[in-house]
Structure 1
Amino acid sequence: MKTKSLLVVLIALCGILCSIGVTQAFGQAVYGSIIGTVTDAQGAAVANAKVKATSVTKNTTTETTTNESGNYAVTHLIPDTYNVRVEAPGFKAFETKNVLVQADAAVRVDGQFQVGGASETVEVTAEAPQLKTDRADVSIEFDSKYVENLPIFNRNFTSLELASPGTQKLVGWGHAATENPQGGQQIFVNGQHFSGTGFELDGTDNQDPILGIIVVNPNLDAITETKMSLQNYDAEFGKAIAGLVTVQTKSGSNDVHGSAFWFRRTDATAARDPFTQYKPDAVTGRMIPSSRWNQFGGSIGGPIIKNKLFFFGDYQGTRQTSGISQQLTIPTSTVLSTCLAATGFCDLSQYQPLIGNGKAGDPSNYLYDPASSPNLDGTGRSAFCGATEVLNPTPGTCPTPFLIPVGKLSPQALNILSLFPTPTNGLVQNNFVGAGSGPFKQDSFDTRIDFTASQSLQVFGRFSLDYFSLSGKGALGPLGGVGFGLLGLAGSSITHNYSLATGFTKTLSSSLLTDFRFGYFKYNPQTHKPDEGTNPATAFGIPNMNLGDKTTSGLPAFFLHDAAPNGGAGNVISNF
C-alpha cells in the first residue's frame, strides 16, 4: 500500500512539473503555436469565442477559446500548415487558411468579427510573416523545400549551418573518421568553439558531450524544418553557448507521399594531383586510385487511421570507396642498402641538411654515439666519423661524418628498417607515394508515429539508427602508416548511433496542459587497429610493448621528424 501511495505521489509531482499555462507556452523545441486577438467591428474584445486550428494534411483539430481580453493561444502544434476558424454567437465566422506553423515559433492570426449569422463565413488568406515580436532570438529557419533543394556536398546536413551568418568552418583539423563517420562539421558560431553549438532532434539532445559533435546526422528527406539560432535563444537551451541547431522530422498525413533518390560520383571525372599522381601506380597501373560514391534511399509517409494515426519512415544508404594517394617520407634507397648490409657503414650523409641546424661543421650537425658517454644530457659523447669516433668534432678532425658502423646499429631499429618499402623517387623527403582505396558503408533510417487520440491528447514517437562500417589499409604495408581509408584511416571501425524521442501533450483546460517528453541517444563507435591481435613490437625485439592482450597489441606509434631551425623536434614528416 505504501509503494502504491508513493507511486501516485511521484506521478502527481511529474504532472505538476510538466504542467504549464498556455499563455506562456508559445515556444517549444518540438511544437509551434498560433496566437492572436479577436475583436468585434468596433474593436472591442470578444471573449469565449471558439478557435479551431485544423491541420491541412492530417485533418486533425485543436480547439481553444478567447479570454476576457479577446486573446487566444493554440499551442503544441506539430509543424504543419493549418486553417484557423473562429466562431462566436451573433457574428459571422471567419477563417484564415494556409497558416504555416514552425517549431519553436508562434504565428499571429488576428481577426475582426462582422455582425451576421454563424452559418456565414468570412475567408481570409494568410499574410506573409510579420516582424517577430514574441521572442528575441536571432535565427534562420529552413523548411523541407530548402533543405532538400539546396546544393549540399554529400548531402551532409551539418554543412547547412554554414548558410547562417557569423559561421566559419574549422580548417586544418577534424575528428578522426572512426569517431565521426556521420561527418559532423566543426563550425564556429560568432567566434565560439564548435563544441559550444547544441544539436537537438525532435526536441531531445543530439550532441555527444565529449566530442561536441552531432550524433545522428539526419537524412535530408526526413527533415520538415530546421532552425539555426545564433543569439538570444530561450533559457531551456542553456547547454549551448555558441549556436543552436534544432531539427524536426517529418510526420505522415492523410495522403500517402514518398520520395526516392540516387546520387553517384566516380574517379572518372576527377582531376589528377600533379604532385602525387604523376605516374601510374606500380601495382594497379592507375593514375588515380579507384573511387566510388553512391548514395541512395527514399521516404514514405501516410495514414494508418485517417485523421488519427500517421506514420513516416525513411532510409539512406551510402557506399563509398575512397581512392587516396598518400605522400610520405621514408628512409632513402641509400639508407636501406647501406644500413641493412652485413658489414660496412650506414650512410646517412643525405640527411646532413636536416641534422641539427643543418650547418656543416656546427656541433649540432654531427651524429653522436650514445654509448660513448654515461651522461644523460648528452655531454661528453663522441661523434661517428666512419671507422673512428671523435670527441668535439670539426671538419678537420672528422672528415667523414654521418657514417655509422653497422655493428653499432640497434637490432630493433634494423628489424623495423627492413620492413620499409623502396622509395618511389630519389628525394630525401616526400620520397614515397602509395595509393589505395578503403570502403565506407552507411545504412540509416528513421521511423515516426503520430497519434491524435482526441482533441486534447496528442502522442508522437521517433526512432533513428545510423550504422557505419569503414576500413583502410596502411600505406606502408606491415608498418602501417597513414591509411587509404576515409580521411587516411588505417584500421577499421563499426559505429551504431541511436536516437529515440517520444512524448505526449494533454490539454487539461483552456489554461492548463501537460507536456511530457523523453529522449535517449547512444553514440557507440567501436574501432580496431589494422594489426590488432599481433605482437610486432615483440618480434622487433622491443620489450614490454605487446603484453599479450588486445589493448597493447599491434604496432606502437613511431614518428619521423625533420630539423627545427633552432633545434628541437621540428615537424613530423611521417609516422607509422
Structure 2
Amino acid sequence: MVKFRSMTSTYPMWRISLLVMLGLLLLGTAAYGQGAASLVGTVTDPTGLPVPNAKITVTNTDTGIVRLTSTNAVGSYAAPELPIGHYNVKVELTGFKTSERTGITLNVNDTVRADVALQIGATQESVTVEANALQVQSDTNEVSQTITAAQVADLATNGRNVIQLAALVPGAASNIPDFDTPMAQTQNRAIQFNGQRNDHNNWLINGGEAYDRGGGGILIVSPSQDALQEFKVMTSNYAADLGQSSGGMITMVTKSGAKQFHGSLWEYVRNDAFDANTFFANLNGQHKPELRYNTFGGNIGGPVPKIGHEKKTFFFYNQEWRREVNGSQINASSVPTAARGGDFSYLLPANGCTGGSCVQLKVPQTTDPAETAKLAQYGLTPGGIIPNNVIPSGLIDSNATALLKAGLFPAANAANNLYYAVTNQLTFYREETFRVDHQIGSKLNLMGSLLYDNGSQTQSPPLWAGGTYATAGSIMAVPSWAGVVHATYTISPTLLNEAAFNYNGNDLNITDFGLYQKPSGYTVPNFFTANKDNKLPGVSIGSPYNISYTPGWWPWYNTWRSWQGKDDVSWTHGKHNMKFGASWMHTHKWQQYQLNAGGQFNFNSAATGNGMADFLMGFASSYSEPASVDFVHISTNNYNLYAMDDWRISNRLTLNLGIRWEGIPHAYDSEQTASNFYPNLYNPAQAATFLPSGALDTNGPGFATVSGIALSNVKFYLNGIGIAGRNGIPNGLVDNHWDTFAPRIGFAYDLTGRQTTILRAGAGMFYERIGGNEEYNMGQNNVPFAYQPAPTNIYFDNPSTSYTSGQTAATPYFPANVTTVDRTYKIPTAIQWSLGIQQQLRQNAVLTVSYVGNSNYHQSEGININTLAQNDPNRLGVCGGTCGYAGAALNANLYRPYQGWGTIAPMVLGANSNYNSLQVSFRVTAWKNLTLNSAYTWSHAFDIIDGEIFSNINNPFNARWDYGPAGFDRRQVSVTSFIYKIPLFQASGSQALKSALGGWELSGIALFESGTPVSISGGPDNLGYGGGTSNRANVVAPVTYPGTRFQWFSTSSFAKPGPLQWGTAARNDVVAPGRNNWNVALFKAFQVKENARFEFRAETFNTFNHTQLGGPSTSVTAANFGQITSTFNPRTFQLGAKFLF
C-alpha cells in the first residue's frame, strides 16, 4: 500500500473537554436544547372569560427552582424550556382565590396544558387541584411516546441495554439481538420506526446529537440505564425545531441532582450457569457457550451547598463498568474431509446425492498451452468432465494445500458436515456521566453534562470484517465522549432565549490476532510491495459451501469530532406560542482506509462447477488488491433555520405550524483526495486498449499521470474520472441543493371541550443527511488516489495470468471497479402524515388510535451501470461454466459499455418507499397496583432496497423487479410492558410476613410479532452481466408453509432459473418465523432505614424458554434450502442487587 501521510490526534482528550465545557457553562454559553418540556395554559374567571396579568409561579418540586411568568391579554401563559420533572403551578390575582395545580409531570419534549379557572375570593384563600397522572396531548399533533422514569428503572433489559426500550412504542420494528453488549461503537441500533431505515434515526442526549454521522451511524456513547431519567421516542410529525433526520427522533435525558442527596450502588450478574442451552446445541450434544457478564457501578446526586445561600446548584455523577466474556457458537457449513483432498464423488447422483447441490465436476476451459499440457498428463481435456469427481493430486494447487493445512477452513466436527466451535468475545467498558444544573438569579438557568465512555473488545471472527470461522480476530480500543452546555434566559414573561453548544468525539484503534499472516508454503505474489504485515488475502468459496476467510484490514485507526451550536427564541404573543431558531453542525473524520494489502480471492464455482474444487485446482474467478493513500479526511457542515407557531385558535383547537430549512451540503474530503466517475466525462474515443492477458495497455489511450498527488509517478486510466476541486468538480463531488424547505402542519382539536377526547392530525416534510461513508468509499476505491485491480478468471498461484488464455501482464493494470455517486445527488426526502384520536378513559388511562403513513423519495441505492447489455450475445460466454458454456469463459471487461473499467455502481438517490399503518397505544398508570403500556402496530412497508450506503439493487435494468415488502416489514407487532405491585401480604398483621413476602413487584415485556420477509436466491450468478446483479429463483408452484425447522416453506415451489434468465420469484415473498417472547422480572425493595433500601432483582429473558426459530436458508442451490439452523436466545437469567439512598 502506498504511504500517503501519517497522522496522530492532536485534539485534547476528554478531561480537557470537561474543563472547556465547564468554562463555557460558567460564562453562560449556551447549548442544544436539553430535551426540556413546556407548560402552557389559559386562566379564566368564573364566567369563562380570560384573565390577563395574573401572576404565574411555576415550581419544580424536585429542586425548588422557580420560574415566574404572567398571563397575557387573552389569559394565556407559557413556560417553555423547563427541565423535566415534577411541577406545581400557582396562579395569583387580586380579587380571586389563589389557585394551584399540583402533581404535574413534565416528560422530555412534552407540551403539557394546565388551565386554571379562578374563583372569586381573597388571595389568602386557596384552591388546589391535583393533575391527572396521564394526560391527552391537547396541544400538539406529534406522534410520540415517553419511556418514563418508572419504565427505565423497573423494566429489565438484557445486559442493561437501555436502547431496547425504544422499541416499546407503536410503529417500532426491532431487529436488535436479544443480548447485545452495550458498547457504543458496536451496539446494534436496528430499530425501524414507521418503515424508515434505521440509519435515518437520530439519537439525542440532553438535547445534543449523540450520533456519529461520519461513518456507519453509531451512537457516540452508550449511557448507563441507571444514569437516565427517561427518554422520548418521536416517530412522526415532530416539530420544526427538530430535524437532520427523517426517522425516529430519540431524545434521552440524564438524571440531575435534587434538593436532597440521592444515590445508589448496584451490580447485575449474568452467567451461563443460570441459562438454558440453545435448541441446536442440545440437539447436537454440545455445551452452552461461556457467558460471564457483570454490570456494576454507582451514582450520587444532590445540591452543591457552598454556592450561595440557597440551593441553586445541583450535580449528578454516575459511573458504571461492564465486563463480559461472551462465547458465541459457530454452526457453519464445512467441506467434507474427502473433498478437502479432492474427492467430490459424494456430489454424484450415483453415490446418493439428491437436490440442487449435485454436480458433475468439469475440467476448466482454458486455451493456455501449459495448462492444457498439464491436464493432459492426467487424461483430462478442457471442457471435459473430471472422472468420478476426483481431482488428481497432482492438479491440486500447493497454495490451497498450505492454507488448508494452516487452518483457514477448518474441517467438519459435527453431523451433516457442519463445523461447530465456541469463540469468546471479551468486552471491558467504563461509562461516566456528569451533570451540573445551576440557577443564576431568577432568569438564567445553566446546565452542562458530559458522558465519557472507554471500552475495549476482543473478538473472532474480526469486528466488521466477518468470515465464516474464528480463524482470525481483532482487538478494539476506543474512548468516546458527548458534552453539552446549555443556557436558558428569561428576557420577559413572554420572551425566552435558549442557546447551546455540543461537542462529541471518539478515537478508535483496532489491531489483529490469530491467523492473518502468510503460512509456510504459501507463495502467491502480491501486485504491490506494500504488504508490510505479510497479510494473507481474503478467500471466498462459493456454491455449494458459501464459506469465507476474512482477515480484516487491521491495524486501523479512526478519529471523529463533532461541533454543534444552536440558539432558540420562544415568544408568547396573544394566542400564539412561537419559536424561532438557528443551528450549525460541523463534523470531521480522520480515518485509515479499510483495505487488506493481502488482497481478496474469489472462487465462485465457474471453473469446475464447485467453489472448493476451483480453490483446490487454483482457478480463481476474480482477485483484487489495493494500493491507496493511507488516510481520508472527511468534513461535513449542516445549517438549519426554523420558525414554528402553536396557535391556540380557541380553547378547543390548536394549530401547529412550522417551516424548517435544512442546509445540507455534501460531505467533502478536506485534503481533496477524492474522485468520482462521471458518465458525461467518459470519451469512447479514449477507451482503453486490452492486452491478451486482460490487462490494460498503459501506453494506450485514456492513461495519464496526475500532478500534486502521492501517486504522481503512476499512470492511471482516467477516462471519465473527475477529481474533487479540479476542473469544475465540486469539493464534495456532487451538486449541492439549497431549496430544502420542510413545512410542517398539524392540529389538535378537543372534541368534547373537556380535554378528554382529542382529534389530532398532521403532515410534514423531512430531509435526511447521508453519512460520510460514500465519500470515504470513493477515495478508498477510485484512481488516482487508489488503485485496486480486479482481474477475472486468473490462476491462484499467479493472479497476473489469465487461466483462460495463459497470457500474463508484466506490469498488470487491470480494469478497476469504481465506487461513485450520481452528481445530481438529490437530498433524501420523507413526507409523513398521521390522523388519530386520543381518549382519556379515566384519570390514569389514555387510549390512542392512529393512522400513520409516509412516502420516501430520493433514497440511496446502488445501480451497476457497467454491466453487459441485455442483448449482448457474449453473456453466455461471460457466464461460463455456470451456464453450461462449452468454451473458455469470456472476460466480461471486454464487453462493458465503459471500456477500461470493471463494475461501476454509483449511489443514486432514486429509490422510493412507502409505509402505511394502524397504530394503537393503551397506557395505564398506577391503576390497582398496575402500570401498563401496550402498543400494537399493523403495517406494511414497501421499498426496493433496505440498506443505506452503496447497497446495490439486484436488477440494474428494472428497479421495479426489486420492489416489494421491505426486509424489516413486520406486518404485526404487539408489545406490552407492565409493572405490577403484588398486593399479597401487604395488609398482613405479621410484620415478619409483610417484610419477607409483601412488597414484591413484577415487571415485564411481552412481545408478539410476525416474521420478516426474505427473498429466495437463484444460486450462483448465471445472468452473464459481469457482476453487479443478483438473481432470484423461479416460482413453479404456490408457496405453502409446512412450518418445521426441516422445511419452513415448500422448497418444491422454487427452482433454479435457467441460464441468462431472471427468476420469477418476487422480492421478499417468503415470510420467516415470527416471535412470541416474554421477559419477566421479580424484585423487592427491603427497607434498611428511613431513607435507605436494598433492592433484589431476579430477571428472566425468554422466561418460558420458548424455542423461537431464526430465519430459513434461502438459496435454492443450498443443501439445507428451506431449513432453519438457528434460534433466538433460550431462557437466560440476570440477577441484580441495588442499594438506594
Q: TM-score, normalised by structure 1?
A: 0.78
Determine the C-alpha separation between the residues in 1 that align with 2:295 and 2:265: 11
Is the 8 Å Cα contact of residues 309 and 451 (structure 1) preserved in structure 2?
Answer: yes
Where does residue 91 of structure 2 map in the other structure? 86
Q: Please list every run of 5 or more consecutive structure 1 residues that lacks an aligned counterpart in the other structure.
A: 1-17, 20-26, 282-286, 340-345
How many residue pairs are counted as aligned between the two chains? 513
Asked if 1 retains the 8 angstrom alpha-carbon contact of 2:480 and 2:505, the reply is: yes
2:226 counterpart (218, 221, 227): 221
Task: Give 1:168-317 correspondences, 5 Å limit.
Answer: 168-170=173-175, 181=185, 183-209=187-213, 210-273=215-278, 275=280, 287-305=287-305, 306-317=310-321
Alignment deviations for residues 382-411 of structure 1 (CA, whole Å, 9 cap, x no partner): 9969832245536xxx655423232x3333
Which among 346, 369, 392 is matched to residue 404 of structure 1?
392
Bigger mean CA deviation after superposition, 35-44 or 186-195 = 35-44
Question: 1:158 is paired with a residue of what secondary structure?
Answer: helix
Q: Structure 1 residue 450 and structure 2 residue 454: aligned?
A: no
The equivalent residue for 1:342 is: none
Q: Are the counterparts in 1 of residues 176 and 188 from structure 2 also a CA contact under 8 Å?
A: no
1:163 aligns with 2:168: yes
Matched-pair contact (CA < 8 Å) for 1:36–1:72: yes
Compute the displacement of 1:463 (Å): 0.2
**Displacement of 1:229 after TM fit?**
1.1
1:481-496 equivalences under 5 Å are: 482-483=469-470, 490-496=473-479
Query: Which residue matches 1:11?
Result: none
- Shift of residue 197, structure 1, vs aligned partner: 1.5
CA distance in 1, matches of 2:313, 2:392: 81
Tell me how far 1:237 sits from its aligned partner.
2.1
The residue identity in structure 2 corresponding to 1:529 is D
Distance 1:169 1:442 in 2: 24
Indicate conservation of the 8 Å contact 1:200/1:207, yes or no: yes
Distance 1:390 1:244 in 2: 64
Change beyond 3 A, Cα 1:201–1:182: farther
Write out per-residue CA displacement over residues 107-142 of structure 1, whole angstroms, 9 at most, x where no aligned residue: 222223333333332222223444322211011112
1:435 equivalent to 2:435? Answer no
Distance 1:393 1:512, change over 3 A: closer
Distance 1:260 1:221 in 2: 10
- What CA deviation, in whole Å up to 9, does each residue of 1:201-258 have, x standing for no partner? 1111122223234332321212222111121111222222122111111110010111
Q: Provide the C-alpha distance between the structure 2 equivalents of 1:480 and 1:45, rounded to a whole number of angstroms.
A: 70
**Amino acid corresponding to residue 468 of structure 1 in structure 2:** G
> Aligned to 2:219, what secondary structure does the other structure show?
coil
Paired residue for 1:138? 143
Report SS of the residue matched to 2:380: strand
Q: Which of 353, 363, 366 is the equivalent residue of 1:368?
A: 363
The aligned residue for residue 345 of structure 2 is 349
Could you tell me which of 397, 401, 404 is aligned with 1:414?
A: 401
**Residues 146 and 231, structure 2, Cα contact 8 Å, conserved in 1:** yes
| Aligned with 1:95 (options 96, 100, 103) | 100
Q: Which amino acid aligns with 1:509?
A: S
Could you say which residue in structure 1 is the equivalent of 2:518?
A: 536
Instruction: Report if the CA contact (8 A) 1:276-1:433 is conserved.
Output: no
Q: Is the 8 A contact 2:229 2:255 kept in 1?
A: yes
| Secondary structure, aligned partner of 1:413 | helix
Q: Distance in 1 between matches of 2:176 and 2:105?
A: 38
Q: 1:38 aligns with which of 29, 34, 43?
A: 43
Q: Percent identity?
A: 24
Instruction: Say if 2:555 is the partner of 1:555.
Output: no
Q: Deviation digits for residues 174-204 of structure 1, max 9, x if unmatched?
A: 99x9995452320111111111112111111
Please name the residue that 1:12 is paired with. Answer: none
DSSP 3-state at the match of 1:559: strand
Match of residue 24 from structure 1: none
C-alpha distance 509-400 of structure 1, shift in aligned 2 (>3 A): closer
Listed one character per residue, the Cα deviations across residues 300-351 of structure 1 (whole Å, up to 9, x for unaligned) are: 1111135200001112221111122323444544456xx5xxxxxx544345
* SS across alignment from 1:116: coil
Q: Is the 8 A contact 2:357 2:1118 kept in 1?
A: no
Deviation of the 1:298 alpha carbon: 2.5
Kept in 1, the 8 Å contact 2:334–2:412? The answer is no
Contact 1:384 1:401 in 2 (8 A): no
1:461 match: secondary structure = strand
For residues 480-519 of structure 1, what are the alpha-carbon distances to aligned partners after superposition, in whole Å with 9 as ceiling and x for unaligned? 96339xxxx8211112221111110111222322210111
State the secondary structure of the residue aligned to 2:537. Answer: coil
In structure 2, what is the equivalent of residue 510 of structure 1?
Answer: 493
Q: Whole-Å Cα distance in 1 between the matches of residues 96 and 436 of structure 2?
A: 39
Q: Cα offset for 1:572? A: 9.7
Quick one: which of 58, 61, 69 aligns to 1:56?
Answer: 61
Letter in 2 for 1:223: L
**Matches of 1:349 and 1:470, distance apart in 2:** 43
CA shift, 1:554, in A, is 2.9
Give yes or no for contact 1:35–1:72 (8 Å, CA) kept in 2. yes
State which of 63, 77, 80 in structure 2 corresponds to 1:75.
Answer: 80
* Contact 1:302 1:310 (8 Å CA) reproduced: yes
Q: Once superposed, what is the RMSD of the aligned Cα atoms?
A: 3.8
Output the amino acid matched with 1:291.
Answer: L
- Contact preservation (8 Å) 1:32, 1:79: yes
For residues 12-27 of structure 1, the aligned pairs below 5 Å read: none
Taking the aligned partners of 2:92 and 2:174, their CA distance within structure 1 comes to 52
Q: Tell whether the 8 Å contact from 1:79 to 1:102 is kept in structure 2 after alignment.
A: yes
User: Which deviates more, 384-393 or 45-54?
Assistant: 384-393
2:936 counterpart residue number: none
* Per-residue deviation, residues 275-315 of structure 1 (Å, max 9, x unmatched): 5567788xxxxx33432111122221111135200001112
C-alpha distance in 1 between matches for 2:182 and 2:47: 67
In structure 2, do the counterparts of structure 1 residues 31 and 178 end up closer, same or farther at CA, with 3 Å as the change threshold? closer
How far apart, CA to CA, are the structure 2 residues paired with 1:211 and 1:513?
Answer: 37
Partner-residue secondary structure (3-state), 2:153: helix
Contact between 2:293 and 2:322, CA under 8 Å: does it hold in 1? yes
